[in-house]
């Protein structure tokens, strides 16, 4: 029972500590360091407002710095060394990597994934979110579509084995082919297209994510806007495309970005379904095959992945600037 008590205690300490920190630090700032009274109340308020953002951000910056920035910098340094980690080779890992066929295949496949999966998952998510919005059994439908999100990747790979397996007694696709009198085919071995069969799995999982976020956004659209459009005689399609979609465009972009980033990280599906064989390797699984063996190469792959996401980062900075104005 001790972990249970320990757990309850930490929830109280952790959560209480967090709340206490934010509350106390703001209180001290406002009442003790820069009280809005005395000689220069105006200047004090301004100063307090300059410090306050950092109070709000401090725990997050600490956690991010320690748990992500520090390892990233360490890893970048590591990627400049050879496999044993005792010889500095500059960009040697990057250069040999770009000469590797397997890497180029992974890179190409990864672009396919980045193009297809976020688009498809967001599309289906939006479709379901909109269709179930005012439906009586909408919540049930949503829960069912959401279910794959709750299944671990290992479970998901198993599920799709029951669909893709070469053996018509196990795989549904081949059972159908068998029924139609066609010979069995291993869909995971069809060159090029097998990538898409693997993508289907991630789309199937991520649609639930897109749906939850987008349906929350759809419900956030003020009733009046929609009602006004109905009175103006707009048909349901016009309402959806001209009124609703522009209103939630920001959220759509967030969902798209999040799934894109996820695509760049998920190795489990390829790893468990094909092990990267049959020309289905993607960068994260390529990285895994070097992880703990040639850490120089593995970390170099990680930085190529981070490079791919650069456009998304730049776009987000621009977006943030626009909001500031």
Partner 1 sequence: MDNIAGTKTSLSWVMNITVVVLVLLWLIPTIGLLVSSFRDRDQISASGWWLSPFPVEQNFSTRASGDNAVQQGDLFVIEGNVYDDEEMAETFGGETPPIAAFGGTRAAPTAFQPGDVAELSRDRTLSVLEDGSYTFTSPAEFSRDPRIYFASETPPEFSLDNYDTVLTSDNMDVAFINTLTVTIPATVIPILIAAFAAYALAWMDFPGRGLLIAAVVGLLVVPLQLALVPLLNLHNQVGIGQSFVGIWLAHTGFGLPLAIYLLRNYMVGLPRDIIESAKVDGATDFQVFVKIVLPLSFPALASFAIFQFLWTWNDLLVAKVFLPSDDASKVMTVKIADDLLGSRGGDWGILATAAFVSIAVPLVVFFTMQRYLVRGLLAGSVK
Partner 2 sequence: MKTYLLAGVAAAALTAGTAQGAGHLPFAPGDGDFNWDSFTAFADANDFSGEEITVTGPWTGADAELVNSVMAYFSEATGATVNYSGSDSFEQDIMISAQAGSAPNVAVFPQPGLASDMAGRGFLSPLGDETAAWVRDNYAAGQSWVDLGTYANADGADELFGFFYKVDVKSLVWYIPEAFDEAGYDIPETMEELKALTDQIVEDGGTPWCIGLGSGAATGWPATDWVEDMMLRTQEPAVYDQWVANELPFNDPAVVAAIEEFGYFALNDAYVDGGAQAVANTDFRESPTGLFDIPPKCYMHRQASFIPTFFPEGTEVGEDVDFFYFPAYAEKDLGKPVLGAGTLFAITNDSPAARGLMEFIKTPIAHEVWMAQSGFLTPHTGVNTDMYANDTLKALGDVLLGATTFRFDASDLMPGEIGAGAFWTGMVDYTTGADAAEVAAGIQERWDAIQ
Interface of this chain with partner 1, residues 64 to 93, rule: CB under 8 A: 64, 66-72, 74-75
Name which position in 22, 76, 123, 278 contacts partner 2 (CB under 8 A).
278
Name which position in 47, 83, 239, 312 contacts partner 2 (CB under 8 A).
83
Q: Which residues are paired to 88 by β-bridges?
A: 81
Residue 166 touching partner 1 (CB under 8 A): no
User: Which H/E stretch holds residue 322?
Assistant: helix 310-324
User: Based on the number of CB atoms within 10 Å of its own CB, is 280 exposed (0-12), middle (13-18) or buried (19 or more)?
Assistant: buried
Rounded distance between C-alpha atoms, residue 267 and residue 117, angstroms: 14
Rounded distance between C-alpha atoms, residue 98 and residue 102, angstroms: 9
Rounded distance between C-alpha atoms, residue 209 and residue 117, angstroms: 13
Would you give the binding string for partner 1 spanning residues 234-273, x where CB under 8 A is met? --x-------------xx--x--xx--x--xx--------
**Binding to partner 1, residues 138-157 (CB under 8 A):** 138-139, 141-155
Rounded distance between C-alpha atoms, residue 300 and residue 308, angstroms: 13
Report whether 106 contacts 287 (CB < 8 A): no
Stretch that binds partner 1, among 89-97, 111-119, 191-199, 203-211 (CB under 8 A): 203-211
CB of 63 to partner 2, least distance (A): 20
Name which position in 112, 163, 272, 303 contacts partner 2 (CB under 8 A).
272
Name which position in 93, 207, 289, 299 contacts partner 2 (CB under 8 A).
289
Report whether 164 contacts 173 (CB < 8 A): yes
Residue 60 contacts which entry, partner 1, partner 2, none (Cβ below 5-8 A, type-dependent): partner 1
Residue 258 touching partner 2 (CB under 8 A): no
Name which position in 28, 33, 57, 185 contacts partner 1 (CB under 8 A).
57
Rounded distance between C-alpha atoms, residue 82 and residue 132, angstroms: 54
């Amino acid at each position: 029972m001790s972990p249970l008590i320990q757990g309850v205690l930490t929830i109280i300490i952790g959560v209480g500590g967090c709340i206490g920190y934010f509350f106390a630090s703001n209180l001290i700032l406002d009442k003790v360091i820069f009280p809005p009274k005395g000689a220069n109340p105006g200047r004090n308020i301004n100063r307090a407002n300059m410090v306050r953002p950092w109070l709000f951000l401090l725990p997050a910056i600490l956690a991010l710095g320690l748990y992500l920035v520090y390892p990233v910098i360490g890893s970048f340094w590591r990627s400049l060394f050879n496999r044993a980690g005792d010889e500095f080779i500059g960009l040697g890992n990057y250069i040999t990597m770009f000469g590797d066929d397997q890497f180029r295949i992974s890179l190409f496949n990864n672009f396919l994934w980045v193009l297809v999966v976020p688009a498809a998952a967001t599309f289906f998510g939006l479709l379901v979110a909109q269709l179930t919005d005012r439906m009586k059994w909408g919540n049930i439908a949503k829960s069912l579509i959401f279910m794959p999100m709750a299944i671990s990747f290992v479970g998901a790979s198993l599920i799709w084995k029951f669909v893709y397996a070469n053996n018509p007694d196990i795989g549904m696709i081949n059972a159908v082919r068998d029924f139609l009198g066609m010979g069995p085919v291993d869909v995971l071995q069809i060159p090029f297209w097998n990538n898409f069969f693997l993508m289907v799995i991630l789309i199937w999982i991520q649609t639930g994510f897109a749906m939850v976020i987008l349906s929350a956004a759809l419900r956030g659209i003020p009733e009046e806007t929609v009602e006004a459009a109905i009175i103006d005689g707009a048909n349901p399609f016009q309402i959806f495309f001209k009124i609703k979609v522009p209103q939630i465009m920001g959220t759509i972009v967030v969902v798209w970005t999040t799934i894109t980033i996820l695509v760049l990280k998920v190795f489990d599906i390829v790893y468990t379904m094909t092990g990267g064989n049959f020309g289905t390797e993607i960068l994260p699984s390529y990285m895994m095959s070097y992880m703990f063996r040639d850490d120089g190469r593995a970390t170099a792959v990680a930085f190529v992945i981070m490079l791919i996401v650069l456009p998304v980062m730049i776009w987000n900075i621009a977006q943030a600037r626009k909001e500031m104005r």
